[in-house]
Structure 1
């Protein structure tokens, strides 16, 4: 089940909503985890200042593109457990689906649920013809998520200073 309202999504277990200023502390704890950051371009957990800059860029992206990255909220707890959404990649002129979750929420299917909903949003709501995804080559768990939501492996590439597996999905 995917419920769409005001560019926010609801799935069976999650709400995907715009970030709010008051999310900074809780979200910084997630992004500050080195286990999370190891799979992102910095290769380590993010500082609160880096997270604030990221949130500012997310807000600007939504204003410019009318799509972007959401805070992912677990319905049962009401807490932020990560982020997921669509991001325009200027250097490749394409849109990627991306996600990141606190380590305590890995392996529970949340990334697959959220990223699948983001794909539906991208294809059905905003009319994208193609969506890509990147995962560090050694990040097997993330690559499984990408494949579960239907993206196909294309090749290995260098992007964001990382060696990544490159995937794509085209609108059906």
Structure 2
């Protein structure tokens, strides 16, 4: 039996990661096309790195009530992950998402981003959220823009130009 999602949108169900969900995250991030803009030439994420990410997602949810959630469709099919983490450099909440390649181009990332931004301000007393994408990843930048995030400039992250965005708490 599937557990109740933390958040629901028209086509998405946002769930915290369960202990036995690691293979889903590994499948998502072992796809070289999914990883292309996340790694930018770095070596592939190995099992230990992915396990640390997975454990971090579970810890974030346990401690804060937010995470980069597992996203499913209404039939329970795994679509990817989307949610929030802390941006190490500043401590700001950062919106992020990765979708399984068969589901690209269907608006799932945009639906997730908009739903999550609406939700986070009800859950956490933050005045803004940031997001960023590799500068040349126009699809991911469009997701941030469609969600109402404002471009704030380009910054290098690990030697790669990234476009940074900000979304302020609605008045």
TM-score (norm 1): 0.88
SS at match of 1:38: helix
Aligned position for 1:70 = 69
Structure 1 unaligned blocks of 5 or more: 1-5
Aligned position for 1:156 = 154
Aligned position for 2:136 = 138
Superposed displacement of residue 48, structure 1: 3.5
Superposed displacement of residue 49, structure 1: 3.3
Superposed displacement of residue 159, structure 1: 2.6
Equivalent residue in structure 2 for 1:113, among 111, 114, 119: 111
- Is contact 1:33-1:46 (8 Å) kept? no
| Count of matched residue positions in the alignment of Structure 1 and Structure 2 | 166
The superposition leaves residues 97-118 of structure 1 with CA deviations (integer Å, 9 ceiling, x where unpaired) of: 1100111111000001111111
Aligned position for 2:122 = 124
SS at match of 1:90: coil
Inter-partner Cα distance in structure 2 for 1:95 and 1:105: 26
Instruction: Quickly say closer, same or farther: Cα 1:92–1:162, change in 2 above 3 A.
Output: farther
RMSD: 1.9
Structure 2 unaligned blocks of 5 or more: none
Q: Which is further off, 18-27 or 94-103? A: 18-27
Aligned position for 1:10 = 8
- Is contact 2:5-2:14 (8 Å) kept? no
Aligned position for 1:61 = 60
The superposition leaves residues 119-140 of structure 1 with CA deviations (integer Å, 9 ceiling, x where unpaired) of: 1121122232101101000000
Q: Which runs of 4+ in 1 moved over 4 A?
A: 42-45
Superposed displacement of residue 46, structure 1: 3.1
Alignment of 1:94-105 (within 5 A): 94-105=92-103
TM-score (norm 2): 0.88
Superposed displacement of residue 63, structure 1: 3.1
Q: Which is further off, 156-165 or 40-49? A: 40-49
- Structure with bigger strand share is 1
Inter-partner Cα distance in structure 1 for 2:34 and 2:107: 16
Superposed displacement of residue 19, structure 1: 0.6
Aligned position for 2:46 = 47
